[in-house]
Chains A and B, each alone.
Chain A
Amino acid sequence: NAGVTQTPKFRILKIGQSMTLQCTQDMNHNYMYWYRQDPGMGLKLIYYSVGAGITDKGEVPNGYNVSRSTTEDFPLRLELAAPSQTSVYFCASTRDRGGEQYFGPGTRLTVT
Chain B
Amino acid sequence: GEDVEQSLFLSVREGDSSVINCTYTDSSSTYLYWYKQEPGAGLQLLTYIFSNMDMKQDQRLTVLLNKKDKHLSLRIADTQTGDSAIYFCAESRNDMRFGAGTRLTVKP
Contacts and interface: CB of A to CB of B under 8 A. Distances in A.
Interface of A: 4, 33, 40-43, 45, 48, 58-59, 90, 92, 97-101, 103-106
Contact of A97 (B8, B45, B88, B94): B94
14 contacts: A4-B42, A40-B8, A42-B4, A42-B100, A43-B88, A43-B98, A48-B95, A97-B94, A98-B95, A100-B48, A104-B42, A105-B42, A106-B41, A106-B42
A98 B42 contact: no
Contacts of B94: 97-98
A41 B42 contact: no
A100 B33 contact: yes
- Top 5 A-B pairs ranked by shortest CB distance? A103-B42, A98-B92, A42-B98, A42-B100, A43-B98
A79 to B, nearest CB: 25
B107 interface: no
Interface of B: 1, 4, 8, 30-31, 33, 40-45, 48, 88, 92-96, 98-101
- Consensus secondary structure, chain A interface: loop
Contacts of B43: 43, 90, 92, 101, 103
Nearest to B45: A100
A64 B100 CA distance: 22
Contact of B95 (A45, A90, A104): A45
A101 B96 contact: yes
